[in-house]
Structure 1
């Protein structure tokens, strides 16, 4: 029964409630108060450090992160050209390991590369033609592979595009290695995952420390899969091997639409929470579904029409699952609202529908959310404009840019609100740092110094609640989000006071300790 004293403990009840002491018993907080009330000589002294409830990344891609952690970051500030990418991939620990070992990378954005083009199969073949190579684009929707990867995936000049995806080709018809959008990228991923299930389990288990050193004690897995194996089994085996973060899995709707047995589970460590629907792609990839065209004249891609969206919502309602809907473009978001705003919610313990990203919101959309019968959540990622400001400036009209990542406006709607990372789907070397995301939400400043819609800045306490209490309510982590009696004894100790440091230092904050159930795990 550890007791902690002399801390600056943010309880997570609201923006202003702090205590200096707490007691944890059987994994849960049993008392909070002031250090002067404690007489226990064995109490653990926090030495005036700031303590937060364990952080929750309610929209992330742990399988992708597990892959990325043993892969190569092809992101700024270290990779700024295709030549840099080739050099970085040659430094991968997997390089030279033989034809059964994939060389993996992540995070490239062609607009940030000196050549201003997407790398091709020929670029990757300069690294190796005997080892398969797979590199995620920054949005994790698209990817590139070398000739060996294409061979293992069975992709040839005559392979048809999968529904919702596009296989790139050179002018002569030969596949150029670019796999555009999730459906195409999955062709490579399935070939890769089919080769080594145990390797995927090991990578997941090894990624546990990554989350804990970022203070993240609970996660939302937003890419649950049935093929080539069930994501629930992957997590179950990873937990047995030492994976510690509490996890909620959202299955891609297209893979489970005919599965009448997919039901929510309520285990505190690992649960099935919902389904994931893709409305569109990404802004930086010119595939977000927008009302106004990109400079190319295209409006992006609509991956789910009104009929299919209604089918997905009906399925979720029948199965008593939450729906998390990826929507970055304003046309995609508007379609969600028009189809669902008059529907009756079917979940009472959390929002029935989560709109993920909600990157471009007009005043009319915000009003429609407030007037809706449906109970929504808005889960967004300011780290996108932090890392991708140039792309947003280039691809969006001035009006659209002014409506981008309206964090304060989202927070002031009746919808539940949370910050999250969508990691590793952004071109930044620390894609799921909560503190970079908080910095972006508070300062509205991109890495290049551009200030993005400063009127949408939020105070630090609100940003902290958006990583603790609020995502707990959205993601079904009912035991987390607060440090008050009855809640899990999951908390983080910071290396500096997030509530008093200059805002410029927010992105540099680090976690000194992470505790789960009253036991130190980092």
Structure 2
């Protein structure tokens, strides 16, 4: 029996806002006692702060795995197309041969000096022999160079996929810009089809990225069945050393029949992902009132189709996670779901991803909904994209943005998450930037978005631990209490005593899974 007691710490057990102890005892990977002294091997924490292992309920690990060896085309690193081209030239893949893809992520045309999206011609200046794939900040749209378009079979005759658009110039020639997820998938499938083994290796390498951010569990929000099943990717990655627990959500429109479902503690097929609309920064979020530009966004899933997906999820005991950013898209989810009976125990049957714009009346409807919907929201968006939000939203629309304190006031279950790498920031999935933004409402540009919606530090931590576990079905995580897995993070500094402006500077000193140290700063 392997027994350890961690003593002399400031340990936040996460049961509630005041739940602290100075010691925890771990046996065989589980918490067996809190507040006891002297059992088994003693590990002196020397006053360090300990949190339950952090959970990112909404992220894109496959994209992160690709991005880690690609170019971060985000502020403050990249601010123009020429800087983007230079960043792509400095990736390890540059010059490696015609079958090796060069990748980048995170650009937002509103933040580039040219105030436009890059094109295939811009990327062709980096290489015409190697394919190049570049994700926009929202991870809905993307750009490919001429070689990437060729490998995907895209030319002037290629029709737009349902729910997406292949942008073309006046002559009908594709510009390389692939608008929305369905169009981007044409490039992604061409890229992924080349090397399954490389995708597995990249995912394994990304494990340390999560651990150094204190993340012990993640929600994969873009599960795919083509060109291979995401479940297979994770199964093989675990065999080669991938560490964080994972919950896979398959894109609903790829699921037409029986689905292979794994339900182990470490790896689960947890649900279906539905896209109701696009993004605010792309002016494709579905709006009740038009954007100031006159656009009203795009509707990607009808109410009838959402009902069909819910019926499949109910039959197969899967959670439904619905991407909805615009208030009209969120309202459609509420209208379809609010009077339904829940079908899952211990976690919400339906969760709304982002819920970026919420009116008072919508908050009341969410609170009163029979199905008990939850919200997974991302303060990193307004932190990194203040300029876009102010440019694309009216003053009244902006007042509805990321109403986190209001969610808490209405007792609506919510978690904080990242949607990484789908935002223009070089550290998109740092929980500590998420906590900083949720608490201070401060932005990278130096402004504030709805200061009165800020929440206390401890509530932000609960939204990355206890409440994230409830929402994502990580039943053995979320708190450091007897019976839970001994998954925790030891911090370099006490997050509870930091000035608000220093919260983003907090870093893990070490991350532990099952009572074993799996990452530490000194080994980095």
User: TM-score scaled to structure 2, two decimals?
Assistant: 0.98
Report how far residue 41 of structure 1 moved.
8.2
Residue 492 (str. 1) matches residue 472 (str. 2): no
Identify the range of structure 1 (175-184 vs 293-302) with the bigger mean alpha-carbon deviation: 293-302
Alpha-carbon distance between aligned partners in 1 of 2:505 and 2:67, rounded to the nearest angstrom: 22
Alpha-carbon distance between aligned partners in 1 of 2:59 and 2:208, rounded to the nearest angstrom: 16
Residue 259 (str. 1) matches residue 257 (str. 2): yes
Identify the range of structure 1 (411-420 vs 63-72) with the bigger mean alpha-carbon deviation: 411-420
- Alignment RMSD (CA, Å): 0.9
Residue 31 (str. 1) matches residue 33 (str. 2): yes
8 Å Cα contact 1:260/1:319 also seen in 2: no
Residue 343 (str. 1) matches residue 345 (str. 2): no
8 Å Cα contact 2:5/2:38 also seen in 1: no
Q: Cα deviations across residues 163-183 of structure 1 (Å, max 9, x unaligned)?
A: 000001111111000000000
Residue 237 of structure 1: aligned partner: 236
Which of 375, 381, 384 is residue 381 of structure 2 equivalent to?
384
8 Å Cα contact 1:495/1:509 also seen in 2: yes
After the TM superposition, which residues 492-511 of structure 1 pair with which residues of structure 2 at under 5 Å, given as runs? Answer: 492-511=489-508
Residue 283 of structure 2: aligned partner: 286
Structure 2 portions without partners, runs of 5+? 520-524
Report how far residue 39 of structure 1 moved.
3.2
Q: Cα deviations across residues 388-421 of structure 1 (Å, max 9, x unaligned)?
A: 0010001011111000000011122343110000
Alpha-carbon distance between aligned partners in 1 of 2:209 and 2:304, rounded to the nearest angstrom: 40
Look up the SS of the partner of 1:2 in the other structure. strand
Alpha-carbon distance between aligned partners in 1 of 2:337 and 2:487, rounded to the nearest angstrom: 36
8 Å Cα contact 2:334/2:365 also seen in 1: yes
After the TM superposition, which residues 380-419 of structure 1 pair with which residues of structure 2 at under 5 Å, given as runs? Answer: 380-419=377-416
Alpha-carbon distance between aligned partners in 2 of 1:498 and 1:376, rounded to the nearest angstrom: 30
After the TM superposition, which residues 46-65 of structure 1 pair with which residues of structure 2 at under 5 Å, given as runs? Answer: 46-65=45-64
Residue 160 (str. 1) matches residue 150 (str. 2): no
Which of 456, 479, 483 is residue 482 of structure 1 equivalent to?
479
Report how far residue 144 of structure 1 moved.
0.2
Look up the SS of the partner of 1:47 in the other structure. coil
Alpha-carbon distance between aligned partners in 1 of 2:259 and 2:226, rounded to the nearest angstrom: 16
Residue 95 of structure 1: aligned partner: 94
Residue 19 of structure 1: aligned partner: 21
Q: Cα deviations across residues 74-98 of structure 1 (Å, max 9, x unaligned)?
A: 0000100000000100111100001
Report how far residue 202 of structure 1 moved.
0.2
8 Å Cα contact 1:31/1:484 also seen in 2: yes
Alpha-carbon distance between aligned partners in 1 of 2:263 and 2:195, rounded to the nearest angstrom: 30
Which of 246, 261, 269 is residue 266 of structure 2 equivalent to?
269
Look up the SS of the partner of 1:191 in the other structure. helix
Alpha-carbon distance between aligned partners in 2 of 1:215 and 1:98, rounded to the nearest angstrom: 36
Alpha-carbon distance between aligned partners in 1 of 2:38 and 2:199, rounded to the nearest angstrom: 48
Alpha-carbon distance between aligned partners in 2 of 1:512 and 1:149, rounded to the nearest angstrom: 41
Look up the SS of the partner of 2:201 in the other structure. helix
Alpha-carbon distance between aligned partners in 2 of 1:395 and 1:51, rounded to the nearest angstrom: 40
Residue 193 (str. 1) matches residue 192 (str. 2): yes
8 Å Cα contact 1:286/1:395 also seen in 2: yes
Report how far residue 40 of structure 1 moved.
5.2
Q: Cα deviations across residues 221-255 of structure 1 (Å, max 9, x unaligned)?
A: 00000000000000000001110000000000000
After the TM superposition, which residues 131-210 of structure 1 pair with which residues of structure 2 at under 5 Å, given as runs? Answer: 131-210=130-209
Q: Cα deviations across residues 280-313 of structure 1 (Å, max 9, x unaligned)?
A: 0110011111112123311010001111111111
Alpha-carbon distance between aligned partners in 2 of 1:431 and 1:41, rounded to the nearest angstrom: 39
Which of 453, 456, 463 is residue 456 of structure 1 equivalent to?
453
Alpha-carbon distance between aligned partners in 2 of 1:143 and 1:51, rounded to the nearest angstrom: 39
Look up the SS of the partner of 1:466 in the other structure. helix
Residue 437 (str. 1) matches residue 434 (str. 2): yes
Alpha-carbon distance between aligned partners in 2 of 1:406 and 1:185, rounded to the nearest angstrom: 30
Look up the SS of the partner of 1:373 in the other structure. coil
Number of equivalent positions: 517
Residue 312 (str. 1) matches residue 309 (str. 2): yes
Look up the SS of the partner of 2:496 in the other structure. coil
Residue 325 (str. 1) matches residue 322 (str. 2): yes
Report how far residue 42 of structure 1 moved.
3.9
8 Å Cα contact 2:4/2:39 also seen in 1: no
8 Å Cα contact 1:53/1:490 also seen in 2: yes
Residues 377 and 41 from structure 1, CA distance in 2 versus in 1: closer, same or farther, beyond 3 angstroms? closer
Q: Cα deviations across residues 156-209 of structure 1 (Å, max 9, x unaligned)?
A: 001000000000111111100000000000000000000010000000000000
8 Å Cα contact 2:192/2:199 also seen in 1: yes
Residue 352 (str. 1) matches residue 329 (str. 2): no
Look up the SS of the partner of 1:68 in the other structure. helix
Look up the SS of the partner of 2:495 in the other structure. coil
Residues 310 and 396 from structure 1, CA distance in 2 versus in 1: closer, same or farther, beyond 3 angstroms? same
Q: Cα deviations across residues 85-113 of structure 1 (Å, max 9, x unaligned)?
A: 00100111100001010000000000000
Report how far residue 262 of structure 1 moved.
4.7
Alpha-carbon distance between aligned partners in 1 of 2:451 and 2:516, rounded to the nearest angstrom: 40
Alpha-carbon distance between aligned partners in 1 of 2:100 and 2:263, rounded to the nearest angstrom: 37
Report how far residue 349 of structure 1 moved.
1.6
Residue 44 (str. 1) matches residue 56 (str. 2): no
Alpha-carbon distance between aligned partners in 2 of 1:266 and 1:196, rounded to the nearest angstrom: 27
